[in-house]
């Protein structure tokens, strides 16, 4: 009946600040390439609908070059209607913020942007005497913890699809609503009459269903951080008909860049840090993104001969890109000096330290409202910083 392609979290035009020059541009293109693969599939298979459930772009103000490439590629798609909502990355987050970059795609034929973040809009399609209601609401950047389904209307059409960028608790448990983006549950969606919830935000493919609806995250279309290195990336295809179940959903893998983490363990018996790392990271793959985690304990006399820059140059010649995370504990048995005092805090640690100082001051002043705001800010800020550090 209705053939639908569902994608989300394309994150076009990411930063990747640890890469420079040509490699940074190639890494940015990886994300655009995944988008191109999806559009090429749609050109070949001619689905009725393509839905994009948020975070089409990685930020609110992407560069003009990828925006132009997106427009040109969308113009190649002449037989499929496109529906898009914004996510927490590409939405407007304040009154003074620019409009979401996806809104400029409204000018294209066959593209509908559900830009309202307070209530649902819908478009009705017809085929073979049946109606399909496509419903959508963009992510609320000024109220990210708002439940996205609290005002979800009932579907009145023969078939119903709803686009949501949020956090479904049954697929990814919600431990604290204050630190989640747009949390909601399957239970809250019962009785609404929708066949398919086209979800975005969770980067790992996930699928759940009840006797009324199927809920699906297609996952991101490219490995966004090293936490996703083992995940296959792709999009989903489904056929909506009277017998629709989760068995009608097919995951289509994409060609993406691989990532790999090496953990290098140290003990005080090791006398050459660089050699220990190079002997552990013992492969060469110039298309592979690599993270090297240094763990354990090293002697001070050994650590001061650690040549990080030389190591980085050596590894960079063997891989597409390299991150080195140093979590070594430095000790010297000949002194009582506390080398822990020399530890440089991570951006997350410094952010939490500063915010906790502010919270303590607000509590001392009795400012309960600002204290709660700052606590929520810590949770969201820590999540954003960790995402950036993992890339």
**Dihedral sign of CA atoms 379, 381, 386, 391 in order:** positive
pLDDT tops 50 at residue 356: yes
pLDDT tops 60 at residue 256: yes
Q: Which residue has the higher pLDDT, 330 or 371?
A: 330
| pLDDT of 178 | 44
pLDDT tops 90 at residue 130: yes
Hey, where are the domains in the chain?
2-253, 259-342, 347-390
pLDDT tops 90 at residue 81: yes
* Mean pLDDT, range 149-176, rounded to an integer: 89
Q: What is the mean pLDDT of the chain?
A: 89
| pLDDT of 350 | 79
pLDDT tops 90 at residue 342: no
How many alpha carbons lie under 13 Å from residue 368 in its C-beta half-sphere? 0
Query: Strands 183-184 and 159-165, how do they pair?
Result: unpaired
| pLDDT of 379 | 66
| pLDDT of 295 | 94
User: Is residue 98 within 8 Å of 60, Cβ to Cβ?
Assistant: yes
* Mean pLDDT, range 212-217, rounded to an integer: 97
Q: Which residue has the higher pLDDT, 341 or 39?
A: 39
Q: Which two tokens stand for residue 174?
A: 């919600």
| pLDDT of 383 | 66
Q: How confident is the model at residue 176 (pLDDT cuts 50, 70, 90)?
A: very low
Q: Which class in CATH covers the domain with range 2-253?
A: alpha beta
Q: Which two tokens stand for residue 232?
A: 């296959």
Q: Lowest mean pLDDT: which of 37-41, 94-98, 285-289?
A: 94-98
Q: Which residue has the tokens 């448990």?
A: 173
| pLDDT of 365 | 78
As a whole-number percent, the residues of the chain with pLDDT over 70 amount to 90
Q: How confident is the model at residue 389 (pLDDT cuts 50, 70, 90)?
A: low
Q: Which residue has the higher pLDDT, 197 or 305?
A: 197
pLDDT tops 80 at residue 335: no
| pLDDT of 129 | 95
pLDDT tops 90 at residue 363: no
Q: How confident is the model at residue 108 (pLDDT cuts 50, 70, 90)?
A: very high
């Amino acid at each position: 009946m209705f053939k639908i392609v569902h994608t989300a979290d394309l994150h076009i035009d990411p930063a990747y600040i640890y890469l420079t020059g040509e490699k940074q541009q190639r890494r940015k293109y990886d994300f655009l390439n995944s988008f191109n693969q999806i559009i090429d599939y749609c050109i070949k298979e001619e689905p009725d609908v393509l839905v994009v459930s948020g975070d089409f772009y990685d930020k609110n103000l992407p560069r003009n070059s990828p925006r132009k490439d997106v427009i040109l590629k969308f113009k190649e798609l002449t037989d499929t209607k496109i529906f898009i909502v914004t996510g927490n990355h590409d939405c407007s987050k304040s009154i003074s913020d620019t409009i979401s970059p996806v809104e400029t795609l409204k000018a294209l034929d066959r593209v509908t942007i559900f830009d309202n973040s307070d209530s649902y809009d819908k478009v009705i399609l017809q085929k073979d005497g049946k109606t399909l209601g496509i419903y959508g609401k963009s992510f609320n950047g000024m109220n990210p913890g708002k439940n996205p389904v609290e005002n979800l209307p009932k579907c009145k059409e023969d078939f119903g699809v709803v686009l949501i960028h949020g956090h479904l608790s049954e697929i990814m448990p919600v431990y604290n609503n204050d630190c989640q983006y747009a949390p909601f549950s399957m239970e809250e969606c019962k009785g609404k009459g929708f066949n398919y919830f086209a979800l975005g935000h969770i980067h790992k493919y996930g699928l759940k269903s009840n006797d009324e609806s199927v809920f699906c995250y297609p996952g991101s279309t490219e490995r966004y951080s090293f936490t996703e290195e083992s995940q296959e990336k792709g999009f989903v295809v489904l056929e909506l008909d009277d017998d629709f179940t989760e068995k009608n959903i097919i995951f289509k893998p994409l060609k993406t860049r691989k990532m790999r983490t090496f953990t290098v363990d140290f003990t005080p018996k090791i006398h050459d840090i660089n050699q220990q790392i190079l002997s552990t990271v013992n492969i060469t793959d110039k298309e592979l993104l690599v993270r090297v985690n240094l763990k354990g304990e090293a002697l001070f006399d050994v650590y001061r001969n650690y040549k990080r820059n030389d190591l980085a140059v050596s590894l960079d010649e063997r891989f597409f890109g390299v991150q080195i995370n140093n979590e070594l504990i430095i000790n010297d048995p000949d002194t009582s000096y506390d080398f822990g005092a020399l530890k440089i805090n991570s951006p997350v640690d410094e952010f939490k330290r500063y915010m906790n100082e502010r919270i303590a001051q607000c509590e001392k002043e009795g400012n309960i409202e600002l204290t709660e705001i700052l606590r929520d800010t810590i949770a969201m800020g820590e999540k954003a910083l960790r995402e950036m550090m993992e890339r």
